Structure 1
Amino acid sequence: MTPQTLVQPVSPEAYLAQEEQAGDRHEYIQGEIKPMASGTPTHNEISGNLYIALKLGLKKQPYRVFHVDQRLWVPSQEIYTYPDVMVTRKPLVLQEGRKDTVLNACLIAEVLSPATKNYDRSEKFHYYRSIPEFQDYLLIEPERLFVEHYHRNSPKQWSLTEYTAIDEIIRLESVNCDIALTDIYADVEL
């Protein structure tokens, strides 16, 4: 019988200190540090397209739009992560004592990958749902035309709308904005 090695949990403070020095991004999940998967050119194109569409759609509105490198802290779940695209309402709420970690995401989008899609749909979505301001969640398939849009109807009720046609428009109630699938998948070969 081989003895098992116990992994000591890492404190949030130790994670943040390490992340400031790291060249790559890492998620912090309840005391564990996990490297984040690298994106493909298609993944980058889609997340960039969505960022631009939201930035233009929310121009002069009371929102901030972030892309890829903005860290999000989910305190009730003890999770630090970097959503592909995230929208917050102004004023921006930062973690106490930090200038680089957001708390108040109202919309989050993840471009799926084979390595993370199950996590993005299950545990990660569960973690995000504990954010009081969180209202809209987009899961975008990069290899085929398919977007899942979850919208919070009440504190414990979410509705799902699936988009599969290039001429469809996603209505994002939480930020009063429409996003066309043609914009999300612009310059992407499917």
Structure 2
Amino acid sequence: MAVIIKQSSLTIEDYLKQEEKAIDKSEWIQGKIIKMAGASANYNTLTGKLHALLLFALEDLNYSVFMSDMRLWIEESQSYVYPDVMVIQGEPEFTDSQQIAVTNPCFIAEILSPSTAGFDKSQKFTLYRSISQLQEYLLIDQKSYRVELYRKVGERQWLFTEFIGKDAIVELEIVNIQIALSELYKRVKFNE
């Protein structure tokens, strides 16, 4: 999804009030408001497919799976973001009784677009790494069979693995699931 970054004079409280009434979502990252733009068909297909695969695989286990409308509060950076897909092991820790934001994902996935790929790989991943529960971060390309997985292997250590091609299979250790790229990318249309 495309983003536009604006410096904001809004407080976090003002931002949350604004989001309650807003038609379009915005993220609040360290005092900046980032407007979320519309998404492509490939983005929607990949987000929905990953959510469904995780939801059905984890349905009877002690996990919660959320899509891009669930907000994530990152305490260390004082930021609210909307990851494309999140998984929480155990009970979700919400910021308040309205359950508008969670704080404890063990897995986050982002669908890359040309306008957000650099941001998702660098600044956003830096924010996500401050979440102590986070163990795996998945980046999904929407223009080819290509997935990047970052797995936490130690304090401030992340292992990068790249999966390329229709026959590749991604193994998510934190949720004990294998995802074939042929299944994940089914119905995704690549431009020639």
- TM-score where L is the length of structure 2: 0.92
The question of 1:168 aligning with 2:168 is answered yes
Task: Provide the alpha-carbon RMSD of the alignment.
Answer: 1.2
Residue 76 of structure 1 aligns to a residue whose secondary structure is coil
How far the C-alpha of 1:89 sits from its partner, in A, is 1.4
* CA drift at 1:55: 0.9
Q: 1:1-190 maps to which residues of 2 (within 5 A)?
A: 9-96=9-96, 98-190=98-190
1:162–1:55 CA distance, 2 compared to 1 (3 A): same
Q: 1:12-42, CA deviations, whole angstroms, 9 ceiling, x for partnerless residues?
A: 1111011001000000011121201221011
Q: Deviations over 1:64-93 (max 9, x none)?
A: 111111100101011101111111112110
- CA 1:8/1:177 → structure 2, altered by over 3 Å: closer, same or farther? closer
SS in 2 for 1:120: helix
Partner of 1:3: none
- Kept in 1, the 8 Å contact 2:29–2:78? The answer is yes
- Give the deviation of 1:98 after TM superposition: 4.2
Instruction: Find the aligned partners of 2:158 and 2:22 in 1 and give their Cα distance.
Output: 36
1:125 alignment partner AA? F
Query: In the aligned structure 2, how far is the partner of 1:28 from the partner of 1:81?
Result: 6
| Cα deviation code 1:103-141 (max 9, x no counterpart) | 011111100111111000000000000001001111111
Please give the secondary structure, in 2, of the residue aligned with 1:38: coil
Give me the whole-angstrom Cα distance separating, in 2, the residues matched to 1:24 and 1:187: 26
Question: Equivalent pairs: percent with the same residue?
Answer: 41
Relative to the length of structure 1, the TM-score reads 0.93
Further displaced range: 108-117 or 176-185: 176-185
Contact 2:8 2:33 in 1 (8 A): no
Aligned-residue offset at 1:11: 1.5
Once structures 1 and 2 are overlaid, which stretch shifts more, 24-33 or 97-106? 97-106
CA separation in 1, counterparts of 2:58 and 2:180?
Answer: 14
3-state SS in 2 of match to 1:167? coil
Question: 1:4 matched to which residue of 2?
Answer: none
Q: Is contact 1:50-1:183 (8 Å) kept?
A: no
Structure 2, unaligned stretches of length 5 or more? 1-6
In 2, Cα distance between equivalents of 1:26 and 1:88: 22
SS in 2 for 1:50: helix
Structure 1: unaligned runs, 5 residues or longer: 1-6
